[in-house]
Amino acid sequence: MKIVVTGSSGFIGTATVHALEARGHRVVRLVRSGSAGENRITWDPEHGQLEPDVLAGIDAAVNLAGEPIGARRWTERQKAKILDSRERTTTLLSQAMIRLSPQPRALLSASAMGYYGERGDELLTESAASGHGFLASVCRRWEAATSVASEAGIRVVHLRTGLPLHPSGGLMKRVLLPFRFGLGGRFGSGRQWMSWISLEDQIRAMLHLLENDEANGAFNIAAPEPVRNDEFTRVLARVLHRPALIPIPKVLIAIPFGRELTNDLLSSIRLSPARLERSGYRFTSPELEPALRAMLRL
């Protein structure tokens, strides 16, 4: 298939492009800057600039674009940037896709577990209602931005992703160094659920849903064995043969991130990937400790 990918230079996007190309798909990157080329198309979502003709001949799109959630403190300006970078890009891409003839067959569009908000110990399937707070609102609007594509008959999949784990990026890249020096510990109370997934499983699950013509709607992209944060820290420390004795109080996390972002970062979200498993997907790393050992080669 010929597949256009947004957000192709990010942590998930880079791995996605490599996996698609390894599967024999032709990937076209939709980029904001740099020169256009045979496998690169420039666009300007901020100003609504994307000519549908440049997408001619694509079979599907994988939409991963978005301002990083935890890159900066959540000022009102930063929150607007987080929302706009998702809603505008998704709307623009969807509108361009429906104007193509023939239309692409599928749109895989990123979402996040933040859709559900703080939920305590509740086990969350895709039928659970959306939660409260800024991230839940962003995810609702992000998903709604694909409605023009689904109404036109394009198969749309929403990827409600947990925490992707790999030492090259995301959470693991931030915590690995302090844990290696024995300076790790639980975050806040440590009682919050962490819905995680190995990067390998996330990419494999995305390709599975892209190539499965029956897959439609929202899917929780998370390992079937979520853990509480205190268990995550204990397991990571054990794998690294280090102690995990230095808890990070919520008040200290709030100093660089602010209260609102800290509350969302420490939300308890316990995802069930039952719908993904019913679609035929089989996890390579369903349990945390073997997953960490495999990705860290320990």
Write out pLDDT tens, residues 115-168: 999 999 999 999 999 999 999 999 999 999 999 999 999 999 999 999 999 999
- The distance from CA 55 to its chain's CA centroid, rounded to whole angstroms, is 24
State the DSSP code for 187: B
Q: How many domains does the chain have?
A: 1
Listed residue (139, 195, 123) closest to 164, CA to CA: 195
Cα dihedral 30→33→37→41 (10° resolution): 30
The answer to whether 226 and 283 are in contact (CB under 8 A) is no
The predicted model gives 223-245 an average pLDDT of: 96
Q: Which domain holds residue 249?
A: 2-296
Cβ pair 222, 114 in contact under 8 A:
no
What is the predicted pLDDT for the residue at 295? Answer: 95
Q: How far apart are CA 242 and CA 181, in angstroms?
A: 7
Contact in structure between 230 and 238 (CB atoms under 8 Å): no
Whether residue 227 has pLDDT greater than 90: yes
Residue with tokens 């599907």: 60
pLDDT tens sequence across 16-44: 999 999 999 999 999 987 666 678 888 98
Taking all residues of the chain, what is their mean pLDDT, rounded to a whole number?
A: 94
CATH number of the domain at 243, please.
3.40.50.720
Residues of the chain with pLDDT > 70, as a percent, come to 99
